[in-house]
Amino acid sequence: MTAADSAEAQRYDPRAIQEKWQARWAELDSFRASDDPADPRERAYLLDMFPYPSGDLHMGHAEAYAIGDAMARYWFQLGRNVLHPIGWDAFGLPAENAAIRNNAHPADWTYANIETQAESFKRYAVSFDWSRRLATCDPDYYRWNQWLFLRFYERDLAYRKDGYVNWCPKDQTVLANEQVINGRCERCGTEVVRRTLTQWYFRITSYADQLLADAAELEGKWPDRVLLMQRNWIGRSEGVEVEFRIEGRDEPVTVFTTRPDTLYGATFFVLAADSPLASELCAPDRRDQLQAYVEDVRKLTDIERQATGREKTGVFLGVHAINPVNDEPIPVWAADYVLPDYGTGAIMAVPAHDQRDLDFALAFGLPVRVVVHTGLADPAETGVATPGEGELVNSGPLDGLSKGEAITRIVQLLAGKGLGRTAVNYRLRDWLLSRQRFWGTPIPIIHCPACGEVPVPEEDLPVVLPDLRGADLAPKGVSPLAAATDWVNVACPKCGGAAKRDTDTMDTFVDSSWYFLRYCSPHYDQGPFDAEQVRRWAPVDLYVGGVEHAILHLLYSRFFVKVLHDMGLTEFREPFTRLLNQGQVINGGKAMSKSLGNGVDLGQQLAAHGVDAIRLTMVFASPPEDDIDWADVKPEAMVKFLGRAYRLAADVAAAGPAAAGTAAADGSVDLRRVTHHTIDEVTRLIEAYRLNVTVARLMELVTAARRTIDTGPGAGDPAVREAAEVLAVLLSVFAPYTAEECWELLGREASVAKAGWPQADPDLLVAESVTCVVQVNGKVRDRLEVAPSVAEDDLREAALSAPGVIRALGGQSIRKVIVRAPKLVNIVAN
RNA sequence: GCGGGCGUGGCGAAAUAGGUAUACGCGCCAGGUUUAGGUCCUGGUGGUGGCGACACCGUGGGGGUUCGAGUCCCCCCGCCCGCACCA
């Protein structure tokens, strides 16, 4: 039979195969994780970041889940007891906006989309344990958000304060710092403005040092850039706090500085214009000026405020601070370049050695005093500050010292007088978690005029959302919940008097900060999770998802787990042992978007090429962490390859019903070598997430088997059957439908997904001969086929007499011969 | 501005530990199967020169270390990402 005949006889029909196996698999239910403590299999937890149910699955999902599923299915093949769950991140704005448009309840839209996605996941053949599915908008889920909030509240990790917060004018809600991207709302792209509001926060800053320290554990297991981004975001900064007396005030004002060595160069003092301290210290005759300035500052969006090269602005407050090292009075200014929520909101300004201070000094004619001799030109004249190191000058007892010496000395001096101490500051701010929107978890607090903040008693949880819909949900700047008066007005749990519920809802990142723990016992009703099950399954062994969560979700989840650990609820302090960030699917060099009209519809792609070809395209196109440009990619090529794999199995089946386990040893040794090499290499490649190369190796195996069929031994050769069976198992992690069909053609019983990963025979991994490269002066001049065990001397001799070598030498004298048996000889001649 | 990463054929990309550069796929060329097209199969395909065996050049550019560099070191150029007045 020729290959062409076989093509005619066996047509690869992905659609028919999909329909057939989707039904059969539903019965087999192969991917259920076992909670049985007696189950001897090694447990493994693979998690894909759960989707937001905004519609049907899209191309990005197709890539992410193809990668995660390949790893999960590989683990199943290794015989592990794998937890591979799925759920939905189901609270959030799009549902609410859709509900307003359609005069409906957000739940209708949300649950309908969840059903759509669930069906798509099944068709996409992802190996989920469907018995554990959850949605964060289920009261059974979000009651535990409320429970956790109350535990945080008890521990003083949840608190309410007035703050100068990020406000999205379009979505009419506050945003966490992490949700402001380049001054714009992460969700809708609107420019964020600032507002002063009373809001709930999680005290994530209490864990800043732990978040930083434990990141070291993740080194080599998480992508470097994610760890780097988290470190930068936390922004630890070591410095010194120095107390400055203020004229006419009893209490000193503390500043934070990383350059205490330049203290003698401080020529003025700056307060954040919008800090309470600025208005307090302001001289009465300057009040109006300050107020006008602060109003101007607040009108600025973050974008404007952060514009580079913006001119420095500020107001002199009419008072002076006293430099503690020399009792020199320096003027106190208010300016917006000092931030109210970093350090103490006050700085000593050293214009000679800090560019921002210099810009300010030059704008307002303030003195510039050089106290570090850097050898560079005078900053007052060049306008360029000299932040570098050098010898201290004009600094009294510090003169002549280096930066390091000066810092040590000044800290001693200040500490002796009780005017300073070393200190650490973080860029990280507390997590603002309240939102003025409907479709989220109600904050379980009751405000009582008599008792103040009163937690909702545990037995009253969950606080279920009232049944608002349509126009009632429209954003008004206060939470829509406030309009549900029946819901809002309650008796105070403490005193029984009239009280009101808190009307804000939680940031949806609260939901996703612990969902991976809920999967371990999704129906548990005594707490957010069964600690026993969590102890067995968690932490997550491999977490697969996009890098867009490098800070937000991943930092929040790490914070949650640390708190839970301190509460005694988990034994681990890091939620995700390993992290794999897949790239994005783009089109024509750009992210897919409606406005560009370059969107690619996943459903159409699946209909056109079949699930397996799309899954294979996703893993073959590039390394998992790189973007895939759909314009550069040809799913047709994958259909072609899958057809070749399918025909291989079909030809083996047609050649005769050789029983499983036929002595493969009787077959073609050359092919067996390829097969076992493939097993060996593919195993290592998958372990390293090198999925694109893995697929290349499978293609080579198919080619080798086909060549064996065509060049003599034929499809009946036991080595060909072995190759076909191995291929079906290896292929099952990427292309489950085709693999299952091949497996059945080969006379094996479903499911190939649980067939077991093949073992490479070590005897077949030893090459019979290897190609030795012979170089002359580093250039390849000949090749020799030699035994792997060839002796160095024999190899040297063979190399020196190789024809290509003799020609290249042309009588030159040999200076040196480097032999790296058995692969290389380099002859140095001149 | 600060921090980090990346530059390999026409394209997506391979290259254990410094040892055959370009695996695999796309595209292209030629041939086979086919009434034809498509499918499928086989072979070829970095550049320049040569009928040819071959020779020279070649991993963004320049230098260095080494018997040997895509890989290590230094400088430069280009692109991408993160942070962005954090004292």
Q: Give per-residue pLDDT as tens, A699-739.
A: 999 999 999 998 877 888 999 999 999 999 999 999 999 99
Give the closest residue to A57 by CA, choosing from A36, A33, A88: A88
Give distance CA A447 / C1' B9 (Å).
70
- Would you say residue A55 has pLDDT above 90? yes
- Would you say residue A6 has pLDDT above 70? no
Which bases of chain B come closer than 7 Å to a protein CB? 3-5, 11-15, 19-21, 23-27, 32-33, 39-42, 55-56, 67-69, 81-87
Q: What is the dihedral of CA A530, A532, A533, A535, to 10 degrees?
A: 120
Q: How far apart (Å, rounded) are the C-alpha atoms in residues A295 and A699? A: 67
Give the closest residue to A674 by CA, choosing from A746, A601, A751, A760: A760
- Cβ(A820)–Cβ(A793) below 8 Å: no
Strand nucleotide closest to residue A826 (CA to C1'): B67
- Would you say residue A660 has pLDDT above 60? no
A272 touches strand B (CB under 7 A): yes
Phi and psi angles of residue A104, each rounded to the nearest 5 degrees, phi first: -130, -175
Q: What is the dihedral of CA A555, A560, A563, A564, to 10 degrees?
A: -140
Helix (H) or strand (E) holding A6: helix A3-9
- Would you say residue A115 has pLDDT above 60? yes
Between residues A702 and A656, the one the model is more confident about? A702
Work out the average pLDDT over A379-396: 92
Residue A171: pLDDT band by 50, 70, 90 thresholds?
Answer: confident
Strand nucleotide closest to residue A225 (CA to C1'): B4
Query: Quick count: other Cβ atoms within 10 Å of Cβ A525?
Result: 9
Strand nucleotide closest to residue A428 (CA to C1'): B86
- Would you say residue A476 has pLDDT above 90? no
Q: What is the dihedral of CA A415, A418, A422, A423, to 10 degrees?
A: 180
Give the model's pLDDT for residue A750. 87
* 3-state secondary structure (DSSP) of residue A194: strand
Task: Name the DSSP class of A698.
Answer: H
Give the model's pLDDT for residue A812. 85
Q: Which two tokens stand for residue A650?
A: 């079909």
Give the model's pLDDT for residue A810. 82
Give the model's pLDDT for residue A7. 44
A378 touches strand B (CB under 7 A): no
Give the model's pLDDT for residue A307. 67
Residue A181: pLDDT band by 50, 70, 90 thresholds?
Answer: confident
Give the closest residue to A516 by CA, choosing from A118, A113, A134: A134
ipTM of the complex model: 0.95
Work out the average pLDDT over A225-246: 94
Residue A651: pLDDT band by 50, 70, 90 thresholds?
Answer: very high
Work out the average pLDDT over A257-273: 96
Residue A58: pLDDT band by 50, 70, 90 thresholds?
Answer: very high
- Cβ(A334)–Cβ(A290) below 8 Å: yes
Residues A742-790 have pLDDT tens digits of 999 999 998 999 999 999 999 999 888 888 999 999 999 998 989 988 9
Percent of chain A with pLDDT over 90: 79
Give the model's pLDDT for residue A4. 42
Give distance CA A377 / C1' B74 (Å).
29
Residue showing tokens 């009792």 = A327
A814 touches strand B (CB under 7 A): no
Distance of CA A270 to the CA centre of its chain: 38
A425 touches strand B (CB under 7 A): yes
Work out the average pLDDT over A279-299: 92
Give the model's pLDDT for residue A658. 57
**Whole-angstrom Cα Rg for chain A:** 34
Strand nucleotide closest to residue A644 (CA to C1'): B40
CA closest to C1' of B84 belongs to A306
Residue A128: pLDDT band by 50, 70, 90 thresholds?
Answer: very high
A7 touches strand B (CB under 7 A): yes
Q: In b/e form, how buried is each residue of A652-678, taking b as 16+ CB within 10 angstroms?
A: bbbbeebeeeeebeebbeebbbbbbbb
Work out the average pLDDT over A464-490: 91
Residues A524-552 have pLDDT tens digits of 999 999 999 999 999 999 999 999 898 99
Show Cβ contacts of residue A313 under 8 Å, excluding neighbours closer than 6 positions. Answer: A293, A296, A297, A335, A336, A363
Give the model's pLDDT for residue A2. 44
Strand nucleotide closest to residue A628 (CA to C1'): B12
Residue A830: pLDDT band by 50, 70, 90 thresholds?
Answer: confident
Q: How far apart (Å, rounded) are the C-alpha atoms in residues A523 and A615? A: 32
Q: Which two tokens stand for residue A316?
A: 């002199």
Residue A43: pLDDT band by 50, 70, 90 thresholds?
Answer: very high
Between residues A305 and A340, the one the model is more confident about? A340
A651 touches strand B (CB under 7 A): no
Q: How far is CA A363 from CA A293, A356, A617, in A?
A: 16, 11, 59
Residue A46: pLDDT band by 50, 70, 90 thresholds?
Answer: very high
Nucleic strand B contacts from chain A, 227-256, CB < 7 Å: 228-229, 232-233, 235, 237, 239, 255-256
A775 touches strand B (CB under 7 A): yes
Q: How far apart (Å, rounded) are the C-alpha atoms in residues A690 and A685? A: 5
Between residues A806 and A10, the one the model is more confident about? A806
Percent of chain A with pLDDT over 70: 97
Task: Name the DSSP class of A792.
Answer: H
Give the model's pLDDT for residue A277. 93
Between residues A73 and A376, the one the model is more confident about? A73
Give the model's pLDDT for residue A1. 40
Q: In b/e form, how buried is each residue of A782-804, taking b as 16+ CB within 10 angstroms?
A: bebebeeebeeeebbebbeebee
A1 touches strand B (CB under 7 A): no
Residues A416-439 have pLDDT tens digits of 999 999 999 999 999 999 999 999
Give the model's pLDDT for residue A474. 85
Give distance CA A623 / C1' B61 (Å).
28
Give the closest residue to A699 by CA, choosing from A723, A668, A673: A723
Work out the average pLDDT over A564-579: 97
A377 touches strand B (CB under 7 A): no
